[in-house]
Amino acid sequence: MARQRLLVALSGGVDSSVAALLLRDQGHEVVCAYMKNWINEDNVAGNCPWMQDIEDARAVAERLGLEFRVVNLMRDYRRLVVDYLLDGYRRGLTPNPDVMCNSRVKFGVFAAYARAEGFQGLATGHYAQRVESAQHSALSVQQFHLLEGSDPNKDQSYFLALLNQEQLAFARFPIGHLRKPALRALAREARLPTADKKDSQGICFIGEVKMADFLRAYVPEEPGPIVRAGDGRVLGRHRGLHYYTIGQRKGIGIPSNTDHEAYVVVGKRIADHALLVAFDGPQAPGLWTTECRVHSLSFINEPITQPCRLEARVRYRDPRVPVEFIPDAGPTSATIKFPAPQRALAPGQILALYDGPRLLGGAVFA
């Protein structure tokens, strides 16, 4: 592999630390940069340990003998991710900020920074694999495919579902072939300061508080009735639809019945701010579906314009399931049919499309 000048997004965690280690050892010219996205300047979102993460990232770069930078993307992050998140919850959706952070910020404005600084690629600690297509010729444009990470427990291809070919061509995923125990062993062998650091949970700007506490600070509460779907009976009151998502059982605020059947959220009625609930189970109206609509379709390689059978992930931790993909006449929306009923497909969440382990693209549940 020819030597390249690469920027590594060093988060202060062990995964990106090993990404930098591997690229350095492969002989590339490596520079490390911490993306400064959110510092909780409003003092309402709990403990986001960005200061410790910067120091950990700096210590890794020093250990590896690499240049270290801090790149301030706070304004872009607020505009492209936080505002998207808050707007979605205000409209009764369940947005996915992690997917949007990757497509809009990390491989968007941060990649643009890397290009402007003369780097030939941007590397991250994602558990995913980029492979070159074997079908291109000397006269064709070089194409890349994105495969799942080798570690089935850590694969993060789902979070890259909205990347395009240009973004993937610039991306590097040095650890995608590794399993987590092997990665930590490499970190310990290299005596990296992050070798035994615990994996971060959730997204940084929320820190150690619940999403509900973060939303409480930024989204006004609009109370409404809790309505039993099916017979319309009002069971109680809620503080705001943005605190709930389809499929939620805990924290609704209404007790189970004498048969110990628990209520589950099955829908939101925006017109009167009604939260729709039903007893959890296969008969709960609106909870299970074999067909859905998606919008904002994005493909890594060639768009799919004809009905076909694919596989899909409806959530990050869910396995791939077979689907029938039926595109609309327009390029950005489609109907998805599932042979087996799927539970709690929340509008605003991400559907990732696959051909076996190869990620094809993604869309947003309507």
204 is catalytic: yes
Query: Pairing mode, if any, of strands 350-355 and 321-327?
Result: unpaired
**Token pair belonging to 236:** 């109680």
Number of Cβ atoms within 10 Å of the Cβ of 73: 19
Q: Which of 32, 101, 292, 308 is catalytic?
A: 101
Close Cβ partners of 161 (under 8 Å, ≥ 6 residues apart): 99, 298, 350, 351, 352, 353, 359, 361, 362
Helix (H/G/I), strand (E/B), else coil: 346: coil
Q: Where are the beta strands (DSSP E) in 119-233?
A: 121-123, 128-132, 144-148, 171-172, 224-228
Q: Which residues pair with 248 in a beta bridge?
A: none
Helices 180-189 and 14-25: crossing angle, nearest 10°?
70
Number of Cβ atoms within 10 Å of the Cβ of 8: 33
The DSSP 8-state label assigned to residue 270 in this structure reads G
Contact 20, 63 (CB under 8 A): no
Cα dihedral 50, 56, 59, 63, rounded to 10, equals -140
Task: Please identify which residue in the block is written with the tokens 């301030």.
Answer: 72
CA angle 141, 147, 152 (to 5 degrees): 170
Helix (H/G/I), strand (E/B), else coil: 231: coil
**Token pair belonging to 128:** 């995913």
How many Cα atoms are found within 13 Å in the side-chain-facing hemisphere of 14?
A: 23
Query: Rounded CA gap, 213 and 202, in Å?
Result: 14
Which residues belong to the active site? 101, 204
